Structure 1
């Protein structure tokens, strides 16, 4: 019995950890010298098209500013890089049904009287944030990072969650180019 309780506890902790984490990936142009980029600005035309609330846009852009400043980048009217963002979201519906063992019926899981059958329905919103870095002089995308994870509607936690998305995505910039040996 104790081993089942331990296993259940581990599974619940794993579930919470996986829901809370942000999964990230990035891609980049391997021919680009990323050390030459020192300044940035936002690609206004692209950001204006993002279909999220203005409050969420401000959260994302503020977080990008914080991370870029921590990496030594400076906002500029004549930038080396243009920063663009876009988002996607997907609603996930989970339906769980289980028999708590009470009631009368034939066979496992079938209960003609409905006693003891529990159903729970929950929804989660998984969002993906893409951050594109564009070489301002060539107007070519040189790096793209994306982060996916569950979103919150709790306004007290939104700032924290957005910062987590942005910081984990931009941890991968500049890319670490591995040389073949």
Structure 2
């Protein structure tokens, strides 16, 4: 029975992790003393348009910038002019087409069996998963926030988020999604450096 319980528990964990909506990660320059960073400004370089109307969007830019500024303010960082900044911040976005499966018919099944004879006892556990879906394409949204030292422009931290892009969201829903994504990425800034 313990084997069955462990198997069921393991499968549930795998399914929950696999269904996570936003995948977040970060990387940083290990020699950096992040405790010295107090003031920041937006990176001065202008980003050229991508040609994709879903990415080249001033309304989305304002949502992202407001969310990043709010998160940094909550962490005690002050937005200043470049000459007073310890670090600069920028962000990038991208959409990539992915192939997945869709359609109904998904199922998970578990089975437990056993037999006993006068000389032995046997038991078994089985697990089956079927998608029954058809291949389909979808857009995956990639989002990154970069932090660079203001004077040298050396990249010292990057946080990324990847999630399935969703279309046709109302402005309020889109704003909430941006805030949640930025919050999740910046939860890891500054990093806990050993």
Q: Secondary structure at the match of 1:45?
A: coil
- RMSD value over aligned CA atoms? 2.9
Q: How many Å separate the matches in 2 of 1:152 and 1:73?
A: 31
Q: How many residues align?
A: 149
Give 1:61 deviation, angstroms.
0.7
1:44 aligned counterpart, secondary structure:
coil
Matched, 1:70 2:69: no
- Report the equivalent of 2:61: 57
| Equivalent-residue separation in structure 2 for 1:44 and 1:137 (angstroms) | 12
Q: Deviations over 1:98-122 (max 9, x none)?
A: 79xxxxxxxxxxxxxxxxxx97675
How far the C-alpha of 1:152 sits from its partner, in A, is 2.2
Q: Specify the alignment match of 2:153 in structure 1.
A: 139
Aligned pairs for 1:11-160 (under 5 A) are 14=16, 17-18=19-20, 20=21, 22-46=22-46, 48-49=47-48, 51=50, 52=55, 53-77=57-81, 78-96=84-102, 123-153=137-167, 154-155=169-170, 156-160=172-176
Cα distance in 2 between the residues matched to 1:144 and 1:119: 36
What's the offset of the Cα at 1:16? 9.4
Cα shift at 1:15: 8.8
- Kindly indicate whether the alpha-carbon contact (under 8 Å) linking 1:29 and 1:143 is maintained by their aligned counterparts in 2: yes
More helix by share: 1
Please state how far the C-alpha of 1:97 moved relative to its aligned partner: 6.6
The residue that corresponds to 2:189 in the other structure is 173
Shift of 1:161: 1.1
Q: Deviation at 1:92? A: 3.0
| Cα separation, 1, equivalents of 2:62 and 2:159 | 19
* Structure 2: segments with no counterpart, 5+ residues: 1-11, 106-131
Q: Aligned to 1:92, what secondary structure does the other structure show?
A: strand
Question: 1:4 matched to which residue of 2?
Answer: none
8 Å CA contact 1:94–1:121 kept in 2: the answer is yes
The range that moved more, 121-130 or 60-69, is 121-130
User: Which one has a larger percent strand, Structure 1 or Structure 2?
Assistant: 2
